[in-house]
């Protein structure tokens, strides 16, 4: 049974619920803000699914049905959490790009006046931590059977050694 995007969105939203900027927009009603938030989350989901496809070995393909807003597979809780964590990484990756642009925009003298160095360092450290945590999650996911959660092993007896 396919997994609805809403399941993934809700998990992702709970991870970033304290970030009010994600959910509030100027001159927009709450309903319209949620439509925008869901659209952004959809983009992060597509990027997260692509990242999993390219970097892990899995028994499923992580294909999406954009028209029906579902993942084609019946995802496990582990897979839902992994996708939501990668969505969070993609979300902060956008801010990281803006941070890089901000650094280039101001001269070192300007930055001394505004002194956002601590905020930049804190954000960069947090972003790197999210990326490291996700790399560990993907490695752990790749090394386990998706349905049982047991570690995958190699049956050496199936090979003949001479």
From 35-44, 97-106, 117-126, 140-149, the region with the lowest mean pLDDT: 97-106
Range with lowest mean pLDDT among 12-16, 108-112, 128-132: 108-112
> Do 141 and 57 touch, CB atoms closer than 8 A?
no
Give the other-Cβ count within 10 Å of 29's Cβ: 9
Report yes or no: 143 and 151 within 8 Å, Cβ to Cβ: yes
Q: For residue 11, give the nearest of 60, 109, 63, 78 by alpha carbon.
A: 78
Task: Give pLDDT tens digits for 73-127.
Answer: 999 999 999 999 999 999 999 877 666 555 555 555 555 545 566 777 888 899 9
Print the domain residue range for 56.
3-158
């Amino acid at each position: 049974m396919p997994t609805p995007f809403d399941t993934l969105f809700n998990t992702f939203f709970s991870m970033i619920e304290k970030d009010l900027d994600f959910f509030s927009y100027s001159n927009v009603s709450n309903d319209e803000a949620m439509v925008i938030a869901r659209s952004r989350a959809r983009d992060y989901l597509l990027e997260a699914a692509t990242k999993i496809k390219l970097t892990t070995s899995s028994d499923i393909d992580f294909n999406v049905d954009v028209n029906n807003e579902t993942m084609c597979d019946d995802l496990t809780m582990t897979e839902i959490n992994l996708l939501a964590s990668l969505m969070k990484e993609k979300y902060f990756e956008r801010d990281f790009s803006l941070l890089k642009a901000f650094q280039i925009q101001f001269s070192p003298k300007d930055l001394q006046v505004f002194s956002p160095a601590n905020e930049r360092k804190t954000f960069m450290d947090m972003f790197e931590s999210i990326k490291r945590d996700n790399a560990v999650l993907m490695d752990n996911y790749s090394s386990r059977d998706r349905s049982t959660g047991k570690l995958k092993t190699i049956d050496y007896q199936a090979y003949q050694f001479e």
